[in-house]
């Protein structure tokens, strides 16, 4: 991933708030194995295969943070949300993860909320279309996605909202212009599980591959190149054998193949 400068915090605090008293970890397990895998399928490919968001006016590469099940604190005075996945552009996570200030997403430290939040529905109790939606809207998260694989909230599997002014407006297509990515439903095998997932894609619908998929593709290309080389060598051997047989026949007739007569 390319490296660029982090966006400096722009929070209206004279001094950085003390986070030592905030509860940032409660050891709660993830909802389901599907949710855990789905969240990883939304983070790992970005680090493995994505070149990053569209370059800015200076044409320099931009950094990002793709996080799963990490506390998102809008302010020191509000309880956190824990999105199943969030994507934030132009931010750098602190290297020393033993420090408490680097272990959660504190909006006042990064100076901005994430651009994309994805919530994965596992029951009717999560408030994804109620309280959570309202809080992400107040936080000014640009794009909010609700993935409902079990249809607990209705017929739609994927609901996408874009912040326009102070309101979330439903989108027909989960494409995030400012991010340079979209989401698409995909049925296939990930980590041994055959399910219908949502995955990142480019504008033309091409999937952002996982690291394993990239490795398999590279291996297939290498095997293809080796097979083509073997075929070319076999053809050359066959041509040489034919030439040798023809030369033997000419010699039997008293004609030297490389001679003048």
* 25 inside domain: no
In which band, very low, low, confident or very high, does the pLDDT at 108 lie, cut at 50, 70 and 90? very high
Task: State the Cα–Cα distance between residues 171 and 146, nearest whole angstrom.
Answer: 12
Using pLDDT thresholds of 50, 70 and 90, give the confidence band for residue 194. Answer: very high
pLDDT band at residue 29 using 50, 70 and 90 as cut-offs: low
**Is residue 168 assigned to a domain?**
yes
Asked whether residue 195 falls in the same domain as residue 238, the answer is no
Q: Do residues 118 and 233 share a domain?
A: no
Considering just the CA atoms, what is the radius of gyration of the chain in Å?
A: 28
Per-residue pLDDT averaged across 204-223, rounded? 86
Shared domain for 119 and 233, answered yes or no, is: no
Note whether 203 and 177 are within 8 A (CB).
no
Domains held by the chain: number = 2
Region 103-123: mean pLDDT is 96
- Residues 69, 126, single domain; the answer is yes
Question: What CATH number is attached to the domain comprising 139?
Answer: 3.90.1570
Cβ neighbourhood burial of 214 (10 Å; 0-12, 13-18, 19+): middle
Q: Which residues contact 66 (CB under 8 A, 6 or more apart)?
A: 42, 43, 46, 47, 85, 86, 87
Q: Which residues lie across from 193 on neighbouring strands?
A: 190
Domain containing 195 equals: 33-209
Is 22 domain-assigned? no
Handedness of CA 247, 248, 250, 254 (dihedral sign): positive
- Rounded-to-integer distance, Cα 68 and Cα 120, Å: 11
Dist CA 33 CA 30 (whole Å): 8
Q: Is the pLDDT of residue 24 over 70?
A: no
């Amino acid at each position: 991933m390319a490296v660029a400068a982090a966006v400096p915090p722009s929070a209206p605090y004279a001094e950085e708030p003390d986070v030592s008293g905030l509860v940032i970890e409660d050891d709660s397990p993830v909802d389901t194995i599907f949710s855990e895998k789905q969240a990883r399928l939304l983070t790992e490919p970005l680090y493995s295969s994505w070149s990053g968001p569209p370059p800015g006016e200076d044409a320099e590469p931009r950094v990002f943070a793709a996080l799963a099940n990490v506390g998102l604190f809008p302010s020191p005075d509000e309880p956190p949300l824990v999105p199943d996945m969030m994507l934030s552009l132009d931010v750098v996570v602190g290297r020393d993860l033993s420090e408490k200030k680097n272990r959660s997403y504190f909006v006042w430290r990064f100076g901005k909320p994430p651009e994309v939040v994805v919530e994965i529905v596992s029951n009717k109790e999560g408030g994804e279309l109620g309280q959570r939606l309202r809080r992400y809207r107040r936080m000014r998260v640009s794009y909010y996605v609700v993935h409902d694989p079990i249809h607990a909230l209705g017929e739609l599997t994927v609901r996408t909202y874009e912040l326009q002014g102070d309101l979330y407006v439903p989108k027909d297509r989960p494409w995030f212009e400012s991010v340079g990515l979209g989401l698409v439903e995909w049925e296939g095998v990930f980590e041994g599980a055959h399910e219908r997932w949502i995955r990142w894609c480019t504008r033309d619908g091409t999937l952002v591959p996982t690291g394993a998929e990239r490795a398999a593709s590279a291996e297939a290309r290498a095997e293809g190149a080796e097979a083509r080389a073997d075929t070319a060598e076999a053809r050359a051997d066959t041509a040489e054998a034919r030439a040798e047989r023809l030369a033997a026949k000419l010699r039997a007739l008293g004609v030297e193949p490389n001679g003048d007569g």
